[in-house]
């Protein structure tokens, strides 16, 4: 039986998450399938930023570091993120970008395994993870090297020379998801530590860092957490490592007594040592709004809707565009898929541009992937119909052949 728009409208009527869409300021006429890259604007964010700007900064001035609790904001938001990723309070800090946090935590991990020289990762990990590991190995000049294998070969590649297994939980380009508990256990069995990049997981799929025994994690604030463009990132250090973690960026706010202004560095107790410099308060204020929304949505409902949307979207594209038009890159198996559907096509770039011109916004990942993020907080089921039928029109009318759609812009 073909899927109809009426079927999808019926699902929207029964959707317990449907009311959450009103919390976001989404433009009319747009189907937004790129919340895995940049989450949309929560309606409460401009007001909160105005309040922090005008009242806390404007009136409170420097007093607001204490009076408005600015100084505690990174750890306070960290504790909220901890609830989304199954981590204990006091083990997550908001700071810097994901890239910088990777640098910090890879260095911490290598410091804990001084006799081992290999960082193991997968070939198709997000490039910044690999670049940072490579750069740090060069900087350390101690013979550290990156070993890259296919995702399925990771468990077998954790030899006794591996200091750290560093993986992205949900792959950015395919949506394939690792079994966090199994990989973490395999790493530990071989004496290695494990670091998870949760960029495409936090707020999108169930994560249980503590249950999986993960050592370290990082993630982005601007994707499924809806913290705004360039929102600060987060990092997690498991309790067992907290008080011995030696961070490579020893800034004053990670000092045991920042306002003692001592000449020598002494790390703060616990996760506070993960901080380097002054936190970006306006960005943190925006991020907190997004996270408060994510905390309101029961993760079992988010996951169930995301999985159903993923299956429906893949089926709708096949139904409306023809089975052979696109190759489904994301796993069909629910257990192994994150919250995105990725389709391969030789002309993926101009096809995505033509689709965006029709108001259906996804993105392109080189060399040939159309990426569609599924964000149950504001994506309806009928939206999937509108997206799939727009894609079918782009293909049927060959709209992607227009010259303007071929010009590659800086951000794809
Ligand atoms: C898996 C993954 N890690 C890291 C990043 C980017 O990190 P940063 O916050 O340093 O830009 C992305 C961005 O898309 C990503 O997909």
Indicate whether residue 383 lines ligand 1 (CB < 6 A).
Answer: no
| Cα 16 to ligand 1 centroid, rounded to whole Å | 31
Whether the CB-CB separation of 35 and 23 falls below 8 Å is answered with no
Question: What pLDDT is attached to residue 333?
Answer: 96
Indicate whether residue 309 lines ligand 1 (CB < 6 A).
Answer: no
* Of residues 80, 19, 33, the one with CA closest to residue 377: 19
Indicate whether residue 99 lines ligand 1 (CB < 6 A).
Answer: yes
Grouping H, G, I as helix, E, B as strand and the rest as coil, residue 176 is strand
Question: What pLDDT is attached to residue 412?
Answer: 83
Residue 270: which region, alpha, beta or left (left: phi > 0; alpha: psi -120 to 50)? left
Query: For the segment 119-149, what is each residue's pLDDT rounded down to a tens digit?
Result: 999 999 999 999 999 999 999 999 999 999 9
Question: What pLDDT is attached to residue 300?
Answer: 98
Question: Whose C-alpha lies nearest to ligand 1, atom 7?
Answer: 98
Q: How far is CA 131 from CA 83, 120, 136, 153, 173, in A?
A: 30, 13, 9, 21, 17
Instruction: Looking at the CA of residue 128, tell me the nearest atom of ligand 1.
Output: 4
- Cis preceding linkage at 367, omega within 30: yes
Mutate to test the pocket of ligand 1, among 94, 104, 128, 168 (most ligand atoms within 8 A of CB): 128
Listed as ranges, residues in the chain with pLDDT below 70 are none
Question: Whose C-alpha lies nearest to ligand 1, atom 12?
Answer: 199
Task: List active site positions.
Answer: 126, 197, 222-223, 371
Q: Rounded to two decimals, what is the model's pTM?
A: 0.98
Mutate to test the pocket of ligand 1, among 98, 133, 228 (most ligand atoms within 8 A of CB): 98
Indicate whether residue 234 lines ligand 1 (CB < 6 A).
Answer: no
Instruction: Looking at the CA of residue 170, tell me the nearest atom of ligand 1.
Output: 1
Indicate whether residue 319 lines ligand 1 (CB < 6 A).
Answer: no
Indicate whether residue 301 lines ligand 1 (CB < 6 A).
Answer: no
Indicate whether residue 220 lines ligand 1 (CB < 6 A).
Answer: yes
Please tell me the distance from the alpha carbon of residue 12 to that of residue 386, in angstroms, as a whole number. Answer: 14
Question: What pLDDT is attached to residue 1?
Answer: 87
Please tell me the distance from the alpha carbon of residue 26 to that of residue 357, in angstroms, as a whole number. Answer: 16
Question: What pLDDT is attached to residue 118?
Answer: 98
The DSSP element (H or E) to which 76 belongs, if any, is helix 73-84
Indicate whether residue 197 lines ligand 1 (CB < 6 A).
Answer: yes
CB atoms within 10 A of CB 377: 27
Please tell me the distance from the alpha carbon of residue 46 to that of residue 387, in angstroms, as a whole number. Answer: 29
Question: What pLDDT is attached to residue 286?
Answer: 98
Please tell me the distance from the alpha carbon of residue 79 to that of residue 380, in angstroms, as a whole number. Answer: 30
Query: How would you list the strands of the sheet with 340-344, edge to edge?
Result: 327-328, 340-344, 369-373, 363-365
Look up residue 149 and give its two tokens: 């294998």
| Cα 67 to ligand 1 centroid, rounded to whole Å | 33
Mutate to test the pocket of ligand 1, among 199, 230, 232 (most ligand atoms within 8 A of CB): 199
């Amino acid at each position: 039986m073909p899927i109809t728009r009426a079927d999808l409208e019926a699902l929207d009527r029964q959707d317990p998450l449907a009311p959450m869409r009103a919390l976001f300021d989404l433009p009319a006429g747009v189907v937004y399938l790129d919340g895995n890259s940049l989450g949309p604007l929560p309606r409460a964010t401009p007001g909160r930023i105005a309040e922090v700007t005008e009242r806390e900064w404007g009136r409170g001035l420097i007093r607001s570091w204490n009076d408005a609790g600015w100084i505690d904001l990174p750890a306070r938001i960290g504790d909220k993120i901890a609830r989304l990723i199954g981590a204990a309070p006091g083990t997550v800090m908001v700071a810097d970008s994901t890239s910088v946090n990777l640098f910090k935590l890879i260095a911490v991990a290598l410091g804990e395994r001084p006799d081992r020289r290999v960082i193991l990762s997968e070939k198709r990990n997000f490039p910044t993870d690999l670049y940072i590991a490579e750069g740090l190995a060069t900087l350390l000049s101690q013979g550290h090297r990156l070993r890259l294998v296919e995702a399925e070969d990771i468990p077998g590649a954790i030899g006794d020379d591996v200091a750290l297994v560093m993986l992205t939980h949900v792959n950015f380009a395919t949506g394939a998801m690792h079994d966090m508990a199994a990989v973490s256990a395999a790493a530990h069995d071989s004496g290695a530590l494990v670091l998870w990049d949760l960029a495409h997981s936090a707020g999108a799929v169930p994560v249980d860092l503590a249950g999986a025994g993960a050592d370290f994690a990082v993630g982005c604030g601007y994707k499924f957490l809806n913290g705004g463009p360039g929102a600060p990132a987060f990092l997690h250090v498991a309790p067992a490592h907290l008080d011995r973690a030696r961070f490579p960026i020893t800034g004053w706010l990670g000092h045991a007594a920042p306002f003692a202004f001592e000449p020598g560095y002494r790390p703060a107790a616990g996760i506070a040592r993960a901080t380097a410099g002054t936190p970006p308060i306006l960005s943190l204020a925006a991020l907190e709004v997004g996270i408060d929304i994510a905390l309101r949505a029961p993760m079992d409902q988010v996951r169930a809707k995301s999985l159903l949307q993923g299956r429906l979207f893949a089926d709708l594209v096949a139904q409306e565009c023809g089975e052979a038009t696109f190759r489904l890159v994301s796993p069909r198996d629910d257990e192994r898929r994150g919250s995105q559907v990725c389709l391969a096509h030789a002309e993926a770039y101009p096809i995505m541009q033509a689709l965006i011109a029709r108001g259906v916004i996804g993105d392109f990942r080189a060399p040939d992937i159309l990426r569609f993020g599924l964000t149950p907080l504001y994506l309806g089921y009928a939206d999937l119909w509108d997206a799939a039928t727009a894609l079918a029109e782009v293909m049927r009318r060959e709209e992607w052949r227009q010259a303007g759609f071929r010009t590659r812009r800086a951000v794809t």
